[in-house]
Amino acid sequence: MDIRLPELDPVTHSQTLFRWLGILTLFVWGTIFLYFYLSGRVVNYLADGFRPAALLGGLFLYVLATFNLLTVRAGKPAAACGHSHATAACGHDHANEADHEHTHSHHHGSLARARDIDELVDTPETAHSGCDHGPEAHSHDHRHEDPGVAGVLVSFFILLAPVLAAASFTRDQFFDKAIINRGLYSGVATAAGAERFWQDKTPAAGEIGNFTLADLETLVDRSAEGNYLLDLVSIFYAAGDVELQRVLTGLPVETTGQILPERANNEDGRRLRLFRLFMECCANDMRPLGIPIEFKDPAPQLREKSWVKVIGKLRFPTEDGVTVSVLEVDQIEPTEEPRERLLN
């Protein structure tokens, strides 16, 4: 298929193809960015601070693509002789040299003065220059590395296919295996985490050291039934600080999360794992933060990864050498999936 456009005569097949596919690719990427942002799906992919960058990225991809589309013929003087230079008889690619003083004697000295803007842009893997051809020393660009149309198509397959396929396949969430492999059962509450996630629930100084029940009552909302409303990340990291453990032990709390089976210390089958996914920047750095929830009787059968609201009392036993938050369940019920599946 000859896709070379007559008005772009001095450009090789692959360079022309690169230009147009490049513009198309930027439009496709821009559309994906804007779609994910405007549809709200971006909340599951990016943390708050990175979402504006996705919007700006989509807009600038459009700007870049549009600018290149509108200027696609800029710096491209038409060949006066009316024939193509793409296949010079000397065996070199003279594609960009439409405006040389050509007399068909291949006066290479004048070729170096090519005015074509394409000579100034390194098309990826399609151009190189400066080959030493000995005494003749003709130094115009030619394309020993030009991968041809097939090479350009392969490049654009890599640029377009994975992104398009990912945008089609994704369900805006990880499935069980990925969640488990990313550390659902191996997370340990650290002092750093306790300080970070309890900072807004501690007195102005941000110090956990003197945390009291009065602080908790002042800074944490309660439900109509009097349960402290805590997100699961805070509950998880409470195990990283002895002051928090002391204050929270035995208090009624209410939280939401997803359910998977519990693996350790569950011989009698009374435990499930309640977890939330937490990301720093994007979903790919996601960490599952989970705690065991313990029933008085064998745990009920719940659909894996279903969303539940749990009311219960906290305790902080040391299990396998690590202090963990355990929520003793008083009440559990299915609940709506939140708009943002991943916390950040």
Partner 1 sequence: MSPEFTEFLQSFSFGFLSMVLEGLPFILAGTIVSGFIDAYLPQSFLDRVLPKNAVRAVLIGGLLGLILPVCECAIVPVIRRLIQRGLPVSCALAYMLASPVVNPLVAASTWIAFPDKDPDATIVFFNEVMTLSRLSLGYLTAILVGLVAIRLPASRILRDRVLRSIGRPLPQGAAMPSAAPGQGESRDHRSTALPSGPDIRPVLAMRTAMSDCLDTAMYFFIGCAITTLFNNEVPRESILPLAQNDWLAVPGLMFFAFVSSLCSTSDAFVAASLATFSAASKLAFLVFGPMVDIKLVFMYSAVFRIRFVWLLVTSLFLLVGALCLVWGQIPWTSAFPNSIP
Binders of partner 1 among residues 169 to 228 (CB under 8 A) are 169-178, 180-183, 185-193, 195-196
Q: Which is nearer to partner 1, 1 or 74 (CB)?
A: 74
> At residue 127, what is the residue type?
A
Options 149, 153, 167, 311; binder of partner 1; rule CB under 8 A: 167
Task: Report the nearest approach of partner 1 to the CB of residue 311 (Å).
Answer: 28
Candidates 40-48, 83-91, 227-235, 291-299; binding stretch for partner 1 (CB under 8 A): 40-48
Assess 57 for contact with partner 1 (CB under 8 A): yes
Answer yes or no whether residue 264 interacts with partner 1 by CB under 8 A: no
CB atoms < 10 A from the CB of 9, how many?
18
Q: Tell the burial category of 328 from Cβ atoms under 10 Å away from its Cβ (0-12, 13-18, 19+).
A: middle
Least distance to partner 1 from the beta carbon of 237, Å? 9
Fill in the amino acid letter for 14. S
CA distance 68 to 272: 56
- Choose one: 88-96, 268-276, 279-287, 302-310; the region binding partner 1 (CB under 8 A): 279-287
Q: Residue 272 Cβ, how far from partner 1 at the closest point, in Å?
A: 20
Closest CA to 32 of 127, 159, 124, 153: 159
- Written as one letter, the residue type at 241 is D
DSSP letter at 255?
Answer: E
**What does 289-317 look like in DSSP terms, one character per residue?**
EEEEEE-SSSPP---TT-EEEEEEEEE--
Residue 35 binds partner 1 (CB under 8 A) = no
Q: Which parts of 285-324 interact with partner 1 (CB under 8 A)?
A: 285-287, 323
Nearer to partner 1, 78 or 163 (CB): 163
Q: How many residues bind partner 1 (CB under 8 A)?
A: 90
- The residues in 131-150 that bind partner 1, with binding defined as CB under 8 A, are 139-141, 145
Residues from 80 through 109 that contact partner 1 (CB under 8 A): none
User: With binding defined as CB under 8 A, does residue 283 bind partner 1?
Assistant: yes
43 is a site residue for partner 1 (CB under 8 A): no
The H or E element that residue 31 is part of is: helix 13-38
Q: How far is the CB of 121 from partner 1 (least distance, A)?
A: 5
H helices of 189-251, in order, are 191-197, 213-219, 232-238, 242-248
Residues 60-79 that bind partner 1 (CB under 8 A): 60-61, 64-65, 67-68, 71, 74-75
Residue 102: strand, helix, or coil: coil
Query: Are 10 and 116 spatial neighbours (Cβ–Cβ below 8 Å)?
Result: yes
Residue 223 CB, shortest distance to partner 1, in Å, is: 29
CA distance 44 to 54: 13
